[in-house]
């Protein structure tokens, strides 16, 4: 069966853990897995800007022995003359996997429907699951484990990052709290899905508007831009709505003394986070950014192995 990765809960807790173990192994030995030797090609398509996702997939596909084919939707027929399904029918005959950064989650679902190669969500309006694999790897490195740790997301709960923390954190057995102003709380169906998963993994989910109540005892404090890609026209209204939902040194003090600060980047210093937090001693943002590479290599190697019904082959 072809495995896709469109949302954080497209993998079970055991599978997520297996991918993170593989990511840690590939971080130790960058060239240990070569599933794309040939080279086989992986297409990486962008409807939105990117630095980390673009570079980490390019480098990662090369390190897996493959050849990255990176292009924008605007320079292709996708999004204009051609549907995601027809695009998939063409690509699957030539490439070994497709990564797509887009707007609507439904486009990714259409691309994955019946596709004969793995389709990976490189960020949509709803979820950013590749980022979360990198974040969980970073939490494992700094906190030893994800299970039982408390993660607090302060900011736009309706965003891809807000939703992905809920789902991926629940799969990882974490206690996840999302704190947002009224009108920007996460979608109820995502909260419900995360709550069901957390009940099975020993985690928990809390959502609300009070930082003072929800950020207490955080092991991991996270935020993200107040103005996600595609929402630029709402910038002023969002800056006003999110005032009071900034991660400051006082907010960090609500968490545990050894809490870490994370941000998927790019960051708007002085808006969602103060410079003395993001550039301070508790911040692990550069490890988090590097881990995109190791986590996505593990993800691709794992999706290809599962889809080909083979074990993940590692040298040594």
Tell me the site size for ligand CP, rule CB under 6 A.
8
d(CA 98, CA 294): 18
Question: Is 175 tagged catalytic?
Answer: no
Question: Is 40 tagged catalytic?
Answer: no
**Which option in ligand CP, ligand NVA, none does residue 138 bind, with CB closer than 5 to 8 A by kind?**
none
The token pair at 219 is 């092991």
Contact in structure between 186 and 166 (CB atoms under 8 Å): yes
Contact in structure between 170 and 147 (CB atoms under 8 Å): no
Could you tell me if residue 123 is left (phi over 0), alpha (psi between -120 and 50 degrees) or otherwise beta? left
Instruction: Select from 47-55, 61-69, 192-200, 268-276 the region that touches ligand CP (CB under 6 A).
Output: 47-55
Instruction: Select from 65-73, 158-166, 201-209, 215-223 the region that touches ligand NVA (CB under 6 A).
Output: 158-166
Residues 206-265 within binding reach of ligand NVA (CB under 6 A): 224-225, 228-229, 264
User: 129: Cβ–Cβ under 8 A, 6 or more apart, which residues?
Assistant: 5, 6, 7, 8, 10, 121, 164, 167, 168
d(CA 96, CA 93): 8
Q: Does 126 bind ligand NVA (CB under 6 A)?
A: no
**Which option in ligand NVA, ligand CP, none does residue 225 bind, with CB closer than 5 to 8 A by kind?**
ligand NVA
Nearer to ligand CP by Cβ, of 123 and 277: the residue is 123
Q: Does 204 bind ligand CP (CB under 6 A)?
A: no
Residues 260-289 within binding reach of ligand CP (CB under 6 A): 264-265
Nearer to ligand NVA by Cβ, of 136 and 264: the residue is 264
Question: Inter-axis angle of helices 160-171 and 129-143, to 10 degrees?
Answer: 50
User: 241: Cβ–Cβ under 8 A, 6 or more apart, which residues?
Assistant: 181, 183, 184, 226
Residues annotated as catalytic are 101, 128, 131, 224, 264, 292
Residues marked as binding?
50-53, 77, 101, 128-131, 160, 224, 228-229, 264-265, 292
């Amino acid at each position: 069966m072809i495995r896709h990765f469109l949302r954080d809960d497209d993998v079970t807790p055991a599978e997520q853990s297996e991918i993170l173990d593989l990511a840690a192994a590939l971080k130790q030995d960058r060239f240990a897995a070569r599933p794309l030797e040939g080279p086989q090609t992986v297409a990486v398509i962008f409807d939105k800007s990117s630095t980390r996702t673009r570079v980490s997939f390019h480098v990662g596909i090369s390190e897996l022995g493959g050849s990255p084919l990176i292009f924008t939707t605007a320079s292709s027929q996708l999004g204009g003359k051609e549907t995601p399904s027809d695009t998939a029918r063409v690509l699957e005959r030539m490439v070994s996997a497709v990564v797509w950064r887009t707007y609507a989650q439904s486009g990714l679902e259409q691309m994955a429907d019946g596709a004969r190669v793995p389709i990976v969500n490189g960020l949509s309006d709803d979820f950013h699951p590749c980022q979360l694999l990198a974040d969980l790897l970073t939490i494992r490195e700094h906190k030893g484990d994800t299970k039982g740790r408390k993660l607090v997301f302060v900011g736009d709960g309706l965003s891809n990052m807000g939703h992905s923390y809920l789902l991926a954190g629940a799969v990882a057995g974490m206690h996840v709290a999302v704190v947002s102003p009224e009108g920007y709380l996460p979608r109820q169906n995502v909260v419900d899905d995360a709550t069901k998963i957390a009940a099975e993994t020993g985690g928990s989910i809390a959502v609300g508007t009070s930082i003072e109540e929800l950020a207490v005892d955080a092991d991991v404090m996270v935020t993200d831009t107040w103005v996600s890609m595609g929402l630029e026209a709402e910038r002023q209204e969002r800056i006003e709505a999110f005032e009071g939902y900034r991660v400051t040194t006082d907010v960090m003090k609500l968490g545990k003394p050894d809490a870490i600060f994370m941000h998927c980047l790019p960051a708007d210093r002085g808006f969602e986070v103060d410079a003395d937090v993001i550039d301070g001693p508790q911040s692990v943002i550069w490890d988090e950014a590097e881990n995109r590479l190791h986590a996505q290599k593990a993800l691709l190697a794992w999706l290809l192995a599962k889809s080909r019904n083979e074990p993940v082959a590692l040298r040594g």
